[in-house]
């Protein structure tokens, strides 16, 4: 079963794109069929995976506007199991052009519906805003992975995102949940980082991944070579940290899938019903998918 994960935090520069590229690459390197959808007009995931920024090449903008089929937009990358739907600066226009469109928040979800089953994981790299692009990603997603920097007021910054996720759960995507929270650009030698890290652990509990991503110059250099860190410098601390994170994320997804299968088997053999996490792993079809 495929899993759509939005990498979101409305704060700029916290490592959303670095996490999208390197997590997707780590999944793919372990043989998991993976798609990265660049939902940001800055197109940093696109260039970071080695595609030149080309405003004429169709991508996420055409997908949202209904001008192209997702299957026709898939671009190969250096990794056999990793495809990308690129973005371009035109995507910024979608925020305005879709304002009066019907089911405007469901555009991405509907557009990805036809190719979902080709991938085990679909990663959505979101822009640094709670705009219509991020909203489309959060409605298309099964879950949200939040990259955060260990800094004072980090929790204040993320509370707006958590409120937004809750609002979306109550309206547009009832099955959305927080996949996990990852500390980025982490420097565990400072008291500040350790203090903030334990505060976040107390707040998020199990949702905070064991793997944190260190500040590592290889991670910052790799995009200018159009490569994920595991191809640019596989032995760097950054590449290794993202590999560990990918294992944790996949284990959680697979454990959840097993639990949900067990629950559905139990439920089909008894009339008992209960609220379990599995109920939030089944995406609810938007109106536009109902006829399919
Ligand atoms: N762990 C890290 N170590 C060193 N540099 C990093 C690390 N993670 C990200 N960076 C660098 O920090 C900058 C911001 O990272 P990134 O682009 O991933 O953030 P973002 O949240 O996607 O930004 P935006 O909000 O603009 O989309 C980039 O220059 C990136 O190379
Ligand atoms: Mg980014």
Q: What is the percent of the chain where pLDDT is above 70?
A: 90
Place of tokens 């959060």: 138
CB 89 within 8 A of CB 3: no
| Coil, helix or strand at residue 5 | strand
pTM: 0.91
pLDDT in tens, 33-69: 999 999 999 999 999 999 998 999 999 999 999 999 9
pLDDT in tens, 229-252: 999 999 999 999 999 999 999 999
Q: How far apart are CA 117 and CA 102, in angstroms?
A: 26
* d(CA 22, ligand 1 centre) in Å: 11
The strand pair at 121-125 and 75-76 is best described as unpaired
Give the ranges where the chain is alpha helix by DSSP (H).
Answer: 16-29, 44-48, 60-65, 70-73, 91-97, 107-112, 132-140, 154-170, 191-204, 217-221, 229-232, 237-269
* d(CA 228, ligand 1 centre) in Å: 13
* d(CA 148, ligand 2 centre) in Å: 13
Q: How far apart are CA 281 and CA 254, in angstroms?
A: 11
Q: How far apart are CA 77 and CA 36, in angstroms?
A: 10
What are the residues whose beta carbon lies below 5 Å from ligand 2 (ion)?
16-17, 44
Which of 17, 24, 124, 144 maximizes ligand 1 atoms within 8 Å of its Cβ, making it the mutation to test the pocket? 17
Identify the residue whose C-alpha is closest to ligand 1 atom 30. 220
pLDDT in tens, 112-146: 999 999 999 999 999 999 999 999 999 999 999 99
Domains in the chain: ranges and CATH: 3-289 (3.40.50.300)
Identify the residue whose C-alpha is closest to ligand 1 atom 5. 220
């Amino acid at each position: 079963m495929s899993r759509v994960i939005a990498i979101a935090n409305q704060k700029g520069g916290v490592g959303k794109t670095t996490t999208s590229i390197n997590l997707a690459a780590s999944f793919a390197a372990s043989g998991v069929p993976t798609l990265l959808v660049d939902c940001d007009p800055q197109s940093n995931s696109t260039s970071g995976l080695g595609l030149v920024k080309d405003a004429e090449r169709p991508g996420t903008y055409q997908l949202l506007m209904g001008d192209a089929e997702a299957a026709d937009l898939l671009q190969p990358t250096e990794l056999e199991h990793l495809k990308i739907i690129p973005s371009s600066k035109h995507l910024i226009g979608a925020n305005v052009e879709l304002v009066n469109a019907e089911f405007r928040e469901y555009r991405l979800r509907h557009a990805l519906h036809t190719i979902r089953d080709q991938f085990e994981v679909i990663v959505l790299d979101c822009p640094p805003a709670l705009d219509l692009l991020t909203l489309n990603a959060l409605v298309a997603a099964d879950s949200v992975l939040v990259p955060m920097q260990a800094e004072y007021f980090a929790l204040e910054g993320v509370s707006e995102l958590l409120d937004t996720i809750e609002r979306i759960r109550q309206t547009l995507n009832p099955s959305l949940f927080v996949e996990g929270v990852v500390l980025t650009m982490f420097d565990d030698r400072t008291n500040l980082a350790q203090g903030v890290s334990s505060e976040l652990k107390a707040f998020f509990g199990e949702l905070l991944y064991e793997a944190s991503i260190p500040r590592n110059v290889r991670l910052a250099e790799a995009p200018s070579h159009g490569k994920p860190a595991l191809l640019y410098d596989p032995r760097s601390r950054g590449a290794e940290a993202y590999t560990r994170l990918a294992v944790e994320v996949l284990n959680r997804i697979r454990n959840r899938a097993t639990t949900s299968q067990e629950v559905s088997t139990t439920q089909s053999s008894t009339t008992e019903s209960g609220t379990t996490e599995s109920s939030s792993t089944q995406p609810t079809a938007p109106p536009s998918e109902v006829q399919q």
